[in-house]
């Protein structure tokens, strides 16, 4: 149940909230990568906040662990990309590593139930249709963002 939320957080942080100037800053300095990961953490905590407000504090460790690894994956990608001509290969490997980390994070809490109160907000928040629509909107926005980025 928690996997779609951490995927949504990842997609928002890596694509929707990563403008070209942040990408350039990441290339020039680890501080850019740190700010990028900080944005990821804020988004991650915002996305899972309904679970945190209902006492599922172990998810704090998931967000922190995912973001710690996110920093080092991005730094490795940047270092590799700077010394090679190919930009597509490091990007694909970077995203695969991020999703492997997300799946491992999910597997660490796989056997834990995360029921939320039966209020209208939580019913909408956890509805498969809501999650699917959110993922589709983010993926479309991501594709458009990547196409725009390739033109520049």
Express each pLDDT in 8-35 by its tens digit: 999 999 988 988 899 899 999 999 999 9
Query: What is the Cα–Cα distance from 109 to 120, expressed in whole angstroms?
Result: 25
Which pLDDT score, from 0 to 100, does residue 66 have?
97
The sign of the CA dihedral 59, 64, 67, 72 is: negative
pLDDT at 150 over 70: no
Which pLDDT score, from 0 to 100, does residue 101 have?
97
Q: Please state the pTM of the whole predicted model.
A: 0.87
- Token pair in block for residue 2: 């928690």
For the stretch 51-109, pLDDT in tens is 999 999 999 999 999 999 999 999 999 998 888 877 778 888 999 999 999 999 999 99
Q: Give the pLDDT band of residue 139 (cuts 50, 70, 90).
A: confident
Which whole-number Å values give the CA distances from 112 to 6, 119, 123, in the listed order?
Answer: 15, 21, 19
Which whole-number Å values give the CA distances from 8 to 13, 93, 134, 136, 151, in the listed order?
Answer: 9, 19, 8, 10, 25
């Amino acid at each position: 149940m928690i996997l779609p939320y951490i995927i949504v957080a990842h997609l928002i942080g890596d694509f929707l909230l990563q403008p070209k100037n942040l990408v350039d800053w990441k290339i020039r300095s680890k501080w850019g990568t740190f700010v990028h990961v900080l944005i990821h953490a804020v988004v991650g905590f915002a996305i899972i906040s309904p679970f945190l407000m209902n006492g599922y504090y172990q998810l704090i460790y998931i967000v922190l662990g995912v973001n710690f690894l996110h920093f080092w994956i991005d730094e490795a990608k940047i270092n590799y990309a700077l010394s090679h001509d190919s930009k597509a290969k490091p990007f694909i490997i970077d995203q695969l590593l991020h999703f492997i980390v997300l799946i491992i994070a999910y597997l660490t809490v796989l056997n834990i139930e995360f029921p939320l109160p039966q209020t209208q907000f939580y019913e909408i928040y956890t509805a498969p249709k809501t999650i699917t629509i959110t993922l589709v909107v983010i993926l479309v926005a991501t594709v458009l963002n990547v196409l725009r980025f390739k033109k520049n």
